[in-house]
Structure 1
Amino acid sequence: MTFVVDPFIFDPADEKHARALARLESEQVAWFGTIGRDGFPHSVPIWFLWRDGRALIMSEPGSVKVRNLRENDRVIFHLESGDDGEQWTILRGTAAISPEPSSEWLDRIEAEYTAKYDEWLQRLGITTESMAGRYTALIEFTPAKAILQ
């Protein structure tokens, strides 16, 4: 099933959009929801990079979210509420699994990913490179609609 949409374009001059963009660039954890074969949602917390209007998510190739994406590319991506509990950043759109091997896409994101997650990686005793050796599927999420507050 293919569901083609134009990507949602954030307008940095709009206050809600600017706040959402800042959070997408700085937040470390988001929730990623896919649709299972049984029609029920499957939502998991993920690490991500926000680049060029898309979220990049490393995943184990055998994960439920990857399996679900192979059947249905419609997804939801959202951040936790902001500090005041009222800053919604909910994005609906589509996601695809990059056909590139992890060795190729890792070259493009390793420095940025390491900078964002270095403290967590150190705590876990791993590197971005060793993580990419296990999480070899790169999911590219493209938003089509935003619900912002």
Structure 2
Amino acid sequence: MAEPFVFDPANEVHARARRRLETEQVAWFGTNGRDGYPHAVPIWFLWRDGRALIMSEPETAKVRNLRADERVLLHLEAGHDGEQLTVLRGTAAISAEPASTWVERIGEAYTAKYDAWLQRLGLTTATMAERYSVLIEVTPHKLIAW
């Protein structure tokens, strides 16, 4: 298996990509479908310790696909000027931690990032985690960016 990708803070493209991963609220998450076709969905995510953390309902296609194939893409929009491509190619794993444990660990940061959206939906991070009880941990192995 490939080594996890490490951002070089002295590299302008790496630094910009990392800033976007820390602040962007929506990304496209791509998995390999069992039928051989790619499957991509918009997701909320939290960038933490060099990984993207995604909360998911347990019975989604992305979770089923990950159980069969760990290879994934995480793709940000092209930026305001259309010239800031950021794609991570990597692997993903479904956390064995129960939702209550990982909510304790990341809940404050998740709430800080998504509180306005959660409020519009009448949710809190804790109530969202009850429904989106699977935590997907994405480890990047390659950055495609400019």
TM-score between the two structures when normalised by the length of structure 2: 0.99
User: Residue in 2 aligned with 1:93?
Assistant: 90
The CA RMSD over aligned residues, in Å, is 0.5
| Equivalent residues in 2 for 1:96-107, closer than 5 Å | 96-107=93-104
User: Residue in 1 aligned with 2:20?
Assistant: 23
User: Aligned AA for 2:39?
Assistant: H
Q: Which consecutive residues of structure 2, in runs of 5 or more, have no partner in the other structure?
A: none
User: Residue in 1 aligned with 2:55?
Assistant: 58
Instruction: Give, in angstroms, the shift of residue 18 of structure 1.
Output: 0.5
User: Aligned AA for 2:49?
Assistant: D
Corresponding position: 1:33 with 2:37 = no
Instruction: Give, in angstroms, the shift of residue 5 of structure 1.
Output: 2.0
Instruction: Give, in angstroms, the shift of residue 140 of structure 1.
Output: 0.2
Q: Distance in 2 between matches of 1:37 and 1:124?
A: 32
TM-score between the two structures when normalised by the length of structure 1: 0.97
User: Residue in 1 aligned with 2:70?
Assistant: 73
Percent identity between the aligned chains?
70
2:116 is matched with which residue: 111, 116, 119?
Answer: 119
Secondary structure of the 2:84 match is: coil
Q: Distance in 2 between matches of 1:5 and 1:107?
A: 30
Secondary structure of the 2:144 match is: strand
Q: Which runs of 4+ in 1 moved over 4 A?
A: none
Q: Which consecutive residues of structure 1, in runs of 5 or more, have no partner in the other structure?
A: none
Secondary structure of the 1:81 match is: coil
Corresponding position: 1:139 with 2:136 = yes
